[in-house]
Structure 1
């Protein structure tokens, strides 16, 4: 399954999450410009996940929370000479590597050195920050991956 969604962290508001047939299957509520955060809603408007940029030990990290406010995972940037590298720690559900070349066109999500999902920048909506998410891992919910992708966008924007 493919999901399409876009990021407009430079402004706030609601954007759609669409499936590969163009059907709306959820929404993103993009919050404050100064401290990026997002709520991820399902098809019926129920809150599934929230993500926000937080600082721990002088390092910026993107925290993902479930609908009850419990921590679902932590996304952090890692130093690399080979491109952009991130790590998503989902606790007992696993540790995932996320890599992209410096062009930032396509990101590969891996578990145990095996690609389990990917996402890419797309111009489907003629937006520089529109994404397509492909083949999400069954261990991590589709909507949680959306929150993670939005976190990568926030960390990349925050680092510039």
Structure 2
């Protein structure tokens, strides 16, 4: 399955999730420019999952519509690459890895098998937009949308912190 989705300027409002035929197959509610919380809805309009930073935390939690935790995304420090780990509750650990200058990432399970890959497809001065290519049944595509949006939120936080430190 191939999905396209994006952030919005100021990270607030509703944005569409599109398939490869540019048909809407869901939406993301970017709750607020101040909290980075999101809700992910399927094609039928039903909420499937949500993502958020817990209070004073740098980890991104993904929960189902009933607030049961699906997993936690954390940044892993690495030299010359971008790494994140998503620990899915009872379903294993998954690594999101991209090279330092690349806008492309692969998602691997614990055995090193690639389950999906995604690419940031936006321009330099526009909000984040992504293309997800996913064929595995180990993780749901909409859950991965929440994970990728969480990775992007973590990167924005890191960038803000770095920029604030240079003033």
TM-score, normalised via structure 1 length: 0.91
Q: 1:128, CA displacement in angstroms?
A: 4.6
| 1:150 is aligned to 2:149 | yes
Task: Sort the Cα spacing of 1:143 and 1:9 in 2 relative to 1 into closer, same or farther, 3 A.
Answer: farther
Task: Sort the Cα spacing of 1:148 and 1:136 in 2 relative to 1 into closer, same or farther, 3 A.
Answer: farther
The superposition leaves residues 53-90 of structure 1 with CA deviations (integer Å, 9 ceiling, x where unpaired) of: 125xx651000000111000000001100311000000
Aligned to 2:95: 97
- Number of aligned residues: 157
Q: 1:113, CA displacement in angstroms?
A: 1.2
Aligned to 1:159: 158
The superposition leaves residues 96-133 of structure 1 with CA deviations (integer Å, 9 ceiling, x where unpaired) of: 01111122410110011121101101149x94511000
SS of corresponding position for 2:149: helix
Q: 1:3, CA displacement in angstroms?
A: 0.2
Aligned to 1:69: 67
Q: 1:33, CA displacement in angstroms?
A: 1.5
TM-score, normalised via structure 2 length: 0.88
User: Structure 1 stretches of 5 or more lacking a match?
Assistant: none
Q: 1:10, CA displacement in angstroms?
A: 2.1
User: Which portions of structure 1, spanning 4 or more consecutive aligned residues, are displaced by more than 4 angstroms?
Assistant: none
Q: Greater share of helix residues, 1 or 2? A: 2
Distance in 2 of aligned mates of 1:110 and 1:51? 21
Distance in 2 of aligned mates of 1:102 and 1:35? 27
Q: 1:137, CA displacement in angstroms?
A: 2.5
Distance in 1 of aligned mates of 2:122 and 2:9? 17
Please tell me whether Structure 1 or Structure 2 has the larger radius of gyration of its CA atoms. 2
Equivalent pair of 1:87/1:97 in contact (CA under 8 Å): yes
Equivalent pair of 2:8/2:127 in contact (CA under 8 Å): no
Q: 1:11, CA displacement in angstroms?
A: 3.3
User: Structure 2 stretches of 5 or more lacking a match?
Assistant: 160-167
Over aligned residues, Cα RMSD in angstroms? 1.8
